[in-house]
Amino acid sequence: QVQFVESGGGLVQPGGSLRLSCTNSAPIYRLYDMGWYRQAPGQARELIAHITTTGRTNFVDSVKGRFTISIDNALDAVALQMNNLKPEDTAVYYCNTQPARPGYWGQGTQVTVSS
């Protein structure tokens, strides 16, 4: 069964950077568009970044210009580079296909932005 594994989260000060990574037992990103999602406390999970199988990317306005999504071919991973982090970026971050497949959710990785 496909299940993604996210890593790279942590505690960072406002303005700092983190790089998240998403791996799977197979390079599923070659078959499907991929997305990074996040869920803040008390809020619904939302798609924030999307990369197609052809490499096109899209971002939600709140992260545009600060986050980038890419495929790390050496690691067979989907990466999310997050720069200039803000407290409102605090959330659990997940990856999944886009659109998301319910059975593919992993545990996510916690990102906390705080001074």
Q: What is the pLDDT of residue 27?
A: 78
Radius of gyration of the chain (CA): 13
Look at residue 73 and tell me whether its pLDDT is greater than 90. no
CA separation, residue 107 to residues 8, 39, 88 (Å): 13, 12, 21
Calculate the average pLDDT of the chain.
94
Torsions phi, psi for 87 (to 5 deg) = -55, -35
Taking the C-alpha atoms of residue 19 and residue 91, their distance in angstroms, rounded to an integer, is 14
Considering only residues 78 and 73, tell me which one the structure prediction assigns the higher pLDDT.
Answer: 78
Q: Which of 53, 52, 54, 85 is nearest to 67 (CA)?
A: 85
Write out pLDDT tens, residues 7-57: 999 999 999 999 999 998 777 888 899 999 999 999 999 999 999 999 999
Length of the chain: 115
Q: What is the pLDDT of residue 20?
A: 97
% residues pLDDT > 70 (the chain): 99
